[in-house]
Amino acid sequence: MSSNIKSAVEAMALPFLEENGFELVDVEYVKEGSNRFLRVYVDKEGGIDIDDCGRISEYLSEKLDENDPIPDAYFLEVSSPGAERPLKKPEDFIKAVGKHVYVTTYEPIEKKKEYEGLLVHCDDTALTIREGKKEFVVPREKIASARLAVVF
């Protein structure tokens, strides 16, 4: 996705979201088959419901029509990030300490590229993930993706 589209959508959405107690989790603009989708993931304390998504969708549709930052036809989807929400911003990682996470890296660290376990520590430089009795320190710059993980 063009970072310009993401930035434009974030700039339009943030004032409304923050004013109404929502958190912008992520924005993605993707092509699937012949269709394009603008997906906006939002959350709030206690979770969001269908009415929240509807309100946000109406607001964003109006703003997107006014500003028209996307040249192609697309479908707008507003939803919760789900139980396995992505961890992208520094504050996402801080909130995830003490929770189960799944992290992949760009290159192997201790012969592994995938880590799933309890996030026991995070700072500006690294995460510490406990898998069973072993702890792995994963440098932040080596993280390809990170999300919360549901344990069954």
Helix intervals (H) in 22-140: 50-67, 90-96
Residue ranges of domains in the chain: 3-79, 90-148
Each residue of 89-140: pLDDT tens digit?
888 999 999 999 999 999 998 899 999 999 999 999 999 999 999 999 999 9
CATH no. of 90-148: 2.30.30.180
- % of the chain exceeding 90 in pLDDT: 76
Provide the 3-class DSSP secondary structure of residue 108: strand
- The more confident residue out of 88 and 120 is 120
Q: What are phi and psi of 128, to 5 degrees?
A: -115, 120
Mean pLDDT rounded to a whole number for the chain: 92
Mean per-residue pLDDT, 138-145: 94
CATH no. of 3-79: 3.30.300.70
